[in-house]
Amino acid sequence: MLSQAFETLSAQNVLVARARLGEGPLWDGDRQVLYWVDIYNHRVHVFEPASGADCHWEVGDLGSALSLMAGERLLMAMGNRLSTLNLTTGTVDTLATVDFPGPGTRFNDGKTDPQGRFWIGTISPERGQAALYRYDPNGTIHTMETGLTISNGLGWSADGATFYLTDSPERKIYAYAFDGATGEIRDRRIAIDLGDEPVEPDGLTIDQDGNIWTALWDGWCVACFSPSGEALGRVQLPVQRPTCPTFGGPERKTLYVTTASVGLSQQEIQKGFYAGDVFAIETLVAGLATNRFGG
C-alpha cells in the first residue's frame, strides 16, 4: 500500500534557487528537463536534473503557469495575457488578453487537459472575484468557474473523468465531472477539505493510480490523498512554503516540488533556510504524462 511507504520517502534539495515565488513546474519528457517559474522575479527557468544545470529567461512580467507546445515554444500565462515563449530566442509574443473584473487580479496556476486545452485560474485580492478560464487551441477563451479567490492546483484523474480545482483560501480541493469531448465541467463537490488545519493547499499533481499530491503552503510538506479523499501520507520538506509538485524523471517517479520565500520574516527564513529552492522526492508510483497544448 502506498500509505505504508510514506515513512521511507524523503525530499532532497536538487536546485539551490532561492526563488521568491517558485511555481508552475512542468516536465518535458522529450528533453528530460523541468521548466518552472519564479513569478515575482519574472523568470522562466529550465532545469536539467541530469547535469544539475539551470538557466532562465527574463520574461518581463508575472509569468505564473506554463504548457508544452509544438516546436521550440512554451505557452505561458502572465499578468492578464496568454503568450508564447520562444525557447531559442527568449522572445515573448502575446496570443490573447483577458479583461478581469477588478484591479489586482492576475493569472495564477494553469495546466493543459488531455485533449490539449489550457486551463488557467486567477488570483484576486477580493474574496470571490477570481475565476477559472479555458483557452482552446482555436484561440477562444471560455469562463468555466467563478466565485473563487485564489484559483490554484488543477488536474485530471487518471481515467480523465474527473477534474480537480483548488481554492487555496477556502482550504478545499474541489472535484468536477469532466467531459473530455466538450471540455465542460459540472457537479462540483468537495474532494479534500483542510479547513481544520492552518495550511492552504497550493499546486497539485495526479499519479497513475489517481492519487492527488498537493503542496501545503505553510505546511512544510507535500500531502497525498486517494481518489476517494483518504489521507495517505505526507512528505516533510525543510521549507515552510512548498508551492507545486509535478512528476518527472525518466520513469516519471520523481516528484519535483517548487517552493517560495516570499512573505516570510527573517526569522522564518532562517528556520527554513532553503526557502525558494527546488526539491525532489523519489516515489514508488509514476505520474501521468505531461499534456501538450493543442494535443
Q: How far apart are CA 295 and CA 183, in angstroms?
A: 14
Instruction: Please report, in angstroms and rounded to a whole number, the separation of the first and last CA atoms in the chain.
Output: 34
Active site residue 218: no
Mean pLDDT of 79-90: 97
Its CATH architecture, for the domain 2-282, is 6 Propeller (2.120)
pLDDT, position 2: 63
Task: Look at residue 5 in the predicted model and tell me its pLDDT.
Answer: 77
pLDDT in tens, 255-287: 999 999 999 999 998 999 999 999 999 999 999
Q: What is the pLDDT of residue 102?
A: 81
Reported as type and span, the H/E element at residue 133 is strand 130-135
Kindly compute the dihedral angle of the four CA atoms of residues 210, 158, 214, 46, in this order, to the nearest 10 degrees. Answer: 140
Cα 169 to chain centroid distance, Å, stands at 16
Q: CA-to-CA distance for 282 and 112, rounded, in angstroms?
A: 24
What percentage of the chain exceeds 70 in pLDDT?
A: 99
Exactly one of 61, 202, 207, 277 is catalytic; name it.
Answer: 202
Give the distance between the most distant pair of CA atoms in the chain: 50
pLDDT confidence band for 4 (50 / 70 / 90): low
For 40, 58, 70, the CA distances from 90, given in Å and listed in that order, are 18, 8, 16
Query: Residues 9-47: pLDDT tens digits?
Result: 999 999 999 999 999 999 999 999 999 999 999 999 999
What is the band of 92 on the pLDDT scale with cuts at 50, 70, 90?
A: very high
pTM over 0.95: yes
Q: Are 221 and 260 in contact (CB under 8 A)?
A: no
- Residue whose cell numbers read 508544452: 68
Residue 132 CA to residue 130 CA, distance in Å, equals: 7
